[in-house]
């Protein structure tokens, strides 16, 4: 990789000397480069012709038709030079194919000429050099020769997807449908918004209506359901297979035909396609037919294990529960981070209602008038379809029934207090000394913030923290001295501060919570103090300072010893 970077740096400097920012096209700015391209094509024995822009597509990129000599034949290629050429690579299509190449030509006849166009393309290369080197490599890759191919599956379904916002989710860990089951019904979990609709394979039934496969997640974030007929297609799908052919192959038993809704009919097909490198497997395809066309959505792996694969080291997080008290600028963002990380159950508690102006840093204004807890819970289910999100629209410590609050707190692996209310935090920390608690606060103007984890590894308590702050042994983060933004009808100042400053605190709070849950943060500090500004208000790069929370000699409380958090199975 280092060698590649050195080559790129050298090539960049040489090309940079030839160019200056301009609104002209690259071949007008660098006529010498265009002459070099055409001379290299002629030297390679190729024939070429510049094509006229397709005005119907408002196309202004330079397109060239090339007859390239390859293996004793002239291969017809269409090459598109992007506006950013030569900084980015040209794209190549082969409508008649390339002799000896089948795996690296897509449904749209595009040729995968480079494994990684961003890293493998050099600005000093010409099109002729690219074709001369890479086309023989593609032929060698057909045999699986070592070092010639990226070991990725080649899906003949790629390119069948529609422009319509419809998606299909599949749990890779779901039991495979038995080969003896060739047709039946599928119960889809359905969710989405006005922008998009998402479906997920929930339960697969055979022709007799008996379940033969069930998703382990059950997709709690997708609240609606739809029964759709499915058929198994034994013939492998190729790049020549059309959407209409798949629709006909998915024709169900008339008795199981679902009635079109508003002229729309839905079918599912289980097809054979390459799912691993050179290995065929079964893949789900969702088809939606309207009045004029068939739209296709190929199943995307999105089960709990599929999503966890993107966050290594978080094993077991899906089986944990977290309660976040406070759904404001910090609490809502902390909840989002935890759900993205893979927490299985999250309860959000807040009695407040969304107002429009604070949408610059918390719940979007489109939820104005909605309970904050409900609005955040709705967003959490959109972020992760596997999360069990619960919203409690009441004020912790006041009108939440004690037995209900205790239920949520005792079921939680970690509790996050983001209320920004000193009295509530003191009540929670002092009455439940063994509760795994993370307190997240920000100062006026979001100049800084503090995270505190209790019980502290160093033995201190919330009262100890107050004594340490009084002694200045735990620093106060900087804060805006005069905050005069007053809400209507309220005599106290309203909180100000940007979302991106508060996001630093929220992200680290989620990081600390996950480390506490997984037991990887026992050697972390108990108190984390963030500064975005100096005391005089001068902006600075965000800086965290951490320190243990030790027992203060003036604190007379009985202190508990921190114990490792035990992973708990989240329950509905």
Phi then psi for residue 463, to 5 deg, are -65, -40
Answer with the residue of higher pLDDT: 485 or 385. 385
Predicted local distance difference test score (pLDDT) of residue 207: 92
DSSP 367: G
pLDDT 10s digits, 73-113: 999 999 999 989 999 999 999 999 999 888 788 878 889 88
In the predicted structure, residue 1 carries a pLDDT above the cut 50: no
Q: Are 303 and 216 in contact (CB under 8 A)?
A: yes
Cα→Cα distances 396→327, 331, 407, 421, Å? 12, 14, 13, 11
Give the pTM: 0.80
Give the HSE-up count for residue 530: Cα atoms under 13 Å, Cβ half-sphere.
24
Which CB contacts under 8 angstroms, 24+ apart, belong to 484-487? none
Strand-pair partners of 48? 66
Torsion (CA) 468, 472, 475, 478 in degrees, nearest 10: 130
Ordered DSSP codes for 107-118: TT-BB---SSHH
What per-residue confidence (pLDDT) applies to 361?
80
Q: CA gyration radius for the chain?
A: 30
Q: Tokens 């029964």 identify what position? A: 227
Q: 295-331 as b/e, with b when 16 or more CB fall inside 10 Å?
A: bbbbbeebbbebbbeeeeebeebbbbbbbbbbbbbbb
Of these ranges, 27-41, 251-265, 480-494, the one predicted with the greatest mean pLDDT is 27-41
- Answer whether the bond into residue 554 is a cis peptide, omega within 30°: no
- Higher-confidence position of 122 and 399: 122
Residues 6+ apart with CB under 8 A from 541: none
Which pLDDT tens digit goes with each residue over 128-149? 999 999 999 888 887 766 655 5
Rounded CA gap, 436 and 416, in Å? Answer: 9
């Amino acid at each position: 990789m280092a060698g590649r970077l050195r080559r790129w740096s050298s090539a960049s400097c040489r090309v940079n000397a030839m160019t200056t920012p301009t609104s002209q096209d690259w071949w007008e700015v660098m006529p010498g480069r265009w002459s070099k391209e055409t001379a290299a094509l002629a030297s390679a024995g190729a024939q070429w012709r510049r094509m006229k822009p397709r005005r119907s597509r408002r196309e202004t990129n330079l397109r060239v038709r090339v007859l390239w000599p390859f293996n004793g034949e002239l291969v017809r290629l269409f090459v598109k030079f992007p506006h950013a050429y030569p900084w980015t690579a040209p794209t190549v299509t082969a409508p008649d194919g390339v002799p000896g190449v089948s795996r690296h030509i897509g449904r749209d006849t595009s040729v995968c000429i480079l494994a990684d166009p961003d890293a493998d393309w050099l600005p000093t290369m010409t099109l002729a050099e690219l074709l001369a080197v890479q086309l023989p490599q593609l032929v060698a890759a057909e045999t699986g020769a070592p070092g010639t191919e990226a070991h990725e599956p080649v899906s003949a379904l790629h390119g069948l997807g529609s422009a319509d916002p419809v998606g299909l989710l599949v749990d890779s860990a779901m039991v495979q449908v038995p080969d003896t089951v060739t047709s039946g019904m599928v119960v889809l979990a359905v969710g989405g918004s006005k922008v998009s609709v998402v479906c997920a394979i929930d339960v697969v039934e055979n022709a007799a209506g008996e379940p033969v496969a069930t998703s382990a997640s059950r997709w709690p974030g997708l609240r609606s359901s739809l029964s759709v007929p499915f058929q198994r297609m034994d013939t492998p799908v190729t790049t020549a297979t059309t959407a209409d052919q798949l629709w006909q192959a998915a024709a169900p038993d008339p008795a199981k035909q679902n009635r079109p809704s508003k002229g729309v009919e839905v079918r599912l097909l289980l097809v054979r396609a390459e799912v691993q490198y050179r290995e065929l497997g079964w893949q789900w395809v969702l088809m939606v037919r309207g009045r004029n066309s068939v739209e296709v959505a190929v199943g995307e792996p999105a089960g709990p294990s599929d999503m966890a694969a993107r966050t290594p080291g978080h094993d077991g997080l899906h089986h944990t529960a977290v309660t976040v008290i406070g759904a404001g600028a910090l609490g809502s963002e902390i909840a989002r981070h935890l759900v993205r990380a893979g927490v299985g159950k999250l309860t959000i508690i807040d009695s407040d209602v969304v107002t429009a102006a604070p949408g610059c840093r918390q719940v979007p204004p489109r939820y104005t008038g909605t309970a904050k807890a409900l609005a955040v819970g709705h967003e959490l289910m959109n972020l992760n379809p596997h999360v069990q999100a619960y919203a409690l629209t009441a004020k912790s410590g006041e009108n939440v029934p004690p037995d209900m609050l205790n239920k949520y707190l005792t079921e939680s692996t970690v509790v996050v207090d983001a209320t920004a209310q000193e009295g509530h935090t003191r009540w929670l920390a002092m009455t439940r000394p063994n509760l795994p608690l993370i307190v997240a606060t920000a100062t006026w103007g979001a100049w800084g913030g503090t995270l505190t984890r209790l019980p502290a590894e160093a033995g201190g308590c919330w009262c100890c923290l107050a004594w340490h702050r009084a002694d200045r042994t735990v620093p106060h983060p900087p804060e805006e001295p005069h905050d005069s933004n007053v809400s209507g009808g309220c005599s106290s100042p309203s909180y100000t501060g940007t979302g991106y400053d508060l996001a630093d605190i929220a992200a680290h709070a989620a990081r600390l919570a996950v480390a506490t849950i997984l037991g990887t943060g026992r050697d972390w500090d108990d108190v984390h103090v963030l500064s975005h500004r100096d005391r005089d208000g001068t902006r600075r790069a965000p800086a965290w300072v951490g320190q243990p929370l030790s027992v203060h000699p003036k604190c007379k409380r009985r202190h508990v010893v921190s114990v490792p958090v035990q992973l708990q199975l989240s329950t509905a």
